[in-house]
Structure 1
Amino acid sequence: MSITASPSLSLLNLEDPHPVPHLRASSYPPRSHPVHSTRPPSPVQLRDQTNPWVTALQHPRPQRHVVMTDSISSIQSGWGIRSVEQARQPEWEPPERFAEVVVGSHMTSGGLEGLEGSGGTGGLGLTGGVGKGKDIYKEKKKDIKRDERDANGSLVVETWARVMDSSKGRDKVLKCLQYSLRTYLYILGLIATIRPHRPWCKSHSKRLKIAVSGLSLTRKCLLLLNPLHPIADLLSPQPMSPRDMFLHLFDLFSALSDDVYCLSRLGLVNKRKGKVADRWANRFWFLTTLMSLYTLHLRTIPHILISRRTEQNEKRMVEARWTNRKLLSDLIFVSYEVFSLSTLREPVQCLTGLLAALISTKKQYEQHSFMVKNA
């Protein structure tokens, strides 16, 4: 498309980048037939000669053909005029992270799928999608804060604080310390058979033995009054099967045996009764471990293997394997107590006790870490 500029438009000089007032009369060529006059020019003629507008009228510039190569939309954007499609778009733009989430696959269900007509009015089904997008945006911000806390190390400290707040978590941490010291003492004993200890090493070993005994008593005190849990389950008004009732009674007698032995260690109960309670506590522990292994191998693991392979089932399988290792360690440890075995008693109990303590502490940490991340 071409537009021809008329002489009237050339007065405004729309197509020339330089304004017309910069022109001078001397810049144009002289006339082909100059007028010779003997008299001097009048003041009006002098004024007209110096006026650029009059000079432009007397000497019209050649016409130009302007070809418009730009599109209408580019011209409108250059003039600051929005197109119809741009006018329909909202002024608000979501944040960058929110836009990434909304554009992703999270908004496809009930959200951006409504563009094809599922929305009802206008074909936009963003009613449920916007709310879902806001929830995802909040979760994304929570993940960012969690990553920042994890980078700073505060997440680990907070998780350990929660582990130590619970009596069970504190018991497992102290158990790790107890059996670590017990293993260290066993290694010192092996070294003493080869090379005698110095006096300071003997006193050091004596202090560590007292520490191991004190940690054992502390762990027993942390688990005092555990019979309250099975008693509460037995007194519950909800109906229970005979199997559940038997398990609750079993837990009750096991916890009572542990408490009686702890009270005997504190000096509140006769030591003879404490020894009897200790034997029964070990027997209950042995039977509990056997029942847990039976349930794990004949119910839990086969159910996971039969179910569909998903990420959640794989995690459950990993947890089941760690639980199996922990139960086997407990079974080996308590077998020496129940059957009064003496072959390799100290090294086996040190290693199995330490392994069971580490696995239990790991499980406690993962449990509380999950709670901290979702808090």
Structure 2
Amino acid sequence: MFLTSNGRDKAFKLIQYSIRLYLLFHTSLTASRVLRRPTRPPWELGMIKRLESTASGFSFTRKMLLLFNWLGPLTAIMAQQSVPYSAEVTTETSKKTTRPFLHTVLYAPPPVLLEMVNAAADDIATFSRLGLLGKKTGERAGRFSDWCWLLSTLVGLVENGVERQMIGNLQQEVESRLYSESMTGATSKSKPKSSKLDERELSRLQKQDYWLQISRAKLAMDLIFVSYDLFKIKRAKRSVQTITGLTAAILSSAKLYDRHKNTLMKNISLTL
């Protein structure tokens, strides 16, 4: 998991927002009447500054890890550029025609386009932080990236809702079949093969629905986080963004871990 850039990004994000959560609690506690002091010890102030610098460093490291992340969506779009000339294969090698790149981009799936544009704008903002581009250019690119993030999050929530509805319908069909078979009085030993397959299918659908709920919660956290930046909401900004950022990091890390675990288990089963 940590061998991939995505896995390292999730690990750094967990550390980054864990530090910010500690700083948030520390600030709240030291501001309370019970623990308030007229002066803070120098070592404590130095520690707070170092932790804030560390959290900012992890944020910048994550930006650097995700540089040129737009190459993935671009590759997917370029793969759609070459299409078969005809559905009928008249020769051993079917003739192919190449669409213009602009035509391919315009007809690419919106989520892929948003991901590519978002990553490109994020790279421009990162280059600005490195001093390669102007500050105003970086700020505009960062804001544009936030808008792309907001739109992609909304699209993801819509897709998530559609997928959950489809899975819910499939679950109802499988459950109705299992109920009909159970009414026939079949025991565990006399269950038909189709019934056992339905039970496996139901278990698979329930697991898929569970991870879709995790994805929906993560998207909701992203939506809250980016809304504070885009709409310049000041009230409890630090607290809300810290909690939502850490929650999103935990949920996305759990989903990524499950994906890598399933891939590893499949590879092990193939070797046995």
Same fold (TM over 0.5): yes
Counterpart of 1:261 in structure 2 is 125
Structure 1 stretch displaced more, 187-196 or 285-294:
187-196
How far, CA to CA, are the matches of 2:110 and 2:209 in structure 1? 28
Counterpart of 1:75 in structure 2 is none
Amino acid at match of 1:184: Y
Deviation digits for residues 84-120 of structure 1, max 9, x if unmatched? Answer: xxxxxxxxxxxxxxxxxxxxxxxxxxxxxxxxxxxxx
> Superposition pairs for residues 215-294 of structure 1, below 5 Å?
215-236=58-79, 237-239=81-83, 244-294=108-158
Q: Is the 2:105–2:113 contact (alpha carbons within 8 Å) kept by the matching residues of 1?
A: no
Amino acid at match of 1:185: L
SS in 2 for 1:244: coil
Q: Is the 2:111–2:152 contact (alpha carbons within 8 Å) kept by the matching residues of 1?
A: no
SS in 2 for 1:232: helix
How far, CA to CA, are the matches of 1:350 and 1:314 in structure 2? 31
Unmatched 5+ stretches in structure 1:
1-162
Counterpart of 2:212 in structure 1 is 320
- One of 169, 183, 189 as aligned partner of 1:306: 169
Task: Give me the identity figure in percent.
Answer: 33
Answer yes or no: is 1:370 the counterpart of 2:262. yes
Deviation digits for residues 32-61 of structure 1, max 9, x if unmatched? Answer: xxxxxxxxxxxxxxxxxxxxxxxxxxxxxx
Deviation digits for residues 225-266 of structure 1, max 9, x if unmatched? Answer: 112122222222345796634443322211111101111122
Q: Is the 2:77–2:108 contact (alpha carbons within 8 Å) kept by the matching residues of 1?
A: no
How far, CA to CA, are the matches of 1:325 and 1:270 in structure 2? 36
SS in 1 for 2:108: helix
Counterpart of 2:251 in structure 1 is 359
Larger Rg: 1 or 2? 1
Aligned length: 212
Deviation at 1:200, TM superposition (A): 1.1
How far, CA to CA, are the matches of 1:340 and 1:243 in structure 2? 34
Unmatched 5+ stretches in structure 2:
84-103, 176-201, 268-272
Measured at CA, do residues 306 and 241 of structure 1 come closer, stay the same or move farther in structure 2, by a change above 3 Å? farther
Q: TM-score, normalised by structure 2?
A: 0.74
SS in 2 for 1:175: helix
Deviation at 1:349, TM superposition (A): 0.5
Measured at CA, do residues 305 and 245 of structure 1 come closer, stay the same or move farther in structure 2, by a change above 3 Å? closer
> Superposition pairs for residues 9-28 of structure 1, below 5 Å?
none
Counterpart of 1:190 in structure 2 is 28
> Superposition pairs for residues 196-215 of structure 1, below 5 Å?
196=37, 197-215=40-58
Counterpart of 2:100 in structure 1 is none
Higher RCO, 1 vs 2 (CA within 8 Å, ≥6 residues apart): 2
How far, CA to CA, are the matches of 2:106 and 2:137 in structure 1? 31
SS in 1 for 2:69: coil
How far, CA to CA, are the matches of 1:167 and 1:302 in structure 2? 32
How far, CA to CA, are the matches of 1:223 and 1:170 in structure 2? 10
Deviation digits for residues 240-293 of structure 1, max 9, x if unmatched? Answer: 796634443322211111101111122222122111111011110000000000
How far, CA to CA, are the matches of 2:76 and 2:69 in structure 1? 12
SS in 2 for 1:224: coil
> Superposition pairs for residues 331-342 of structure 1, below 5 Å?
331-342=223-234
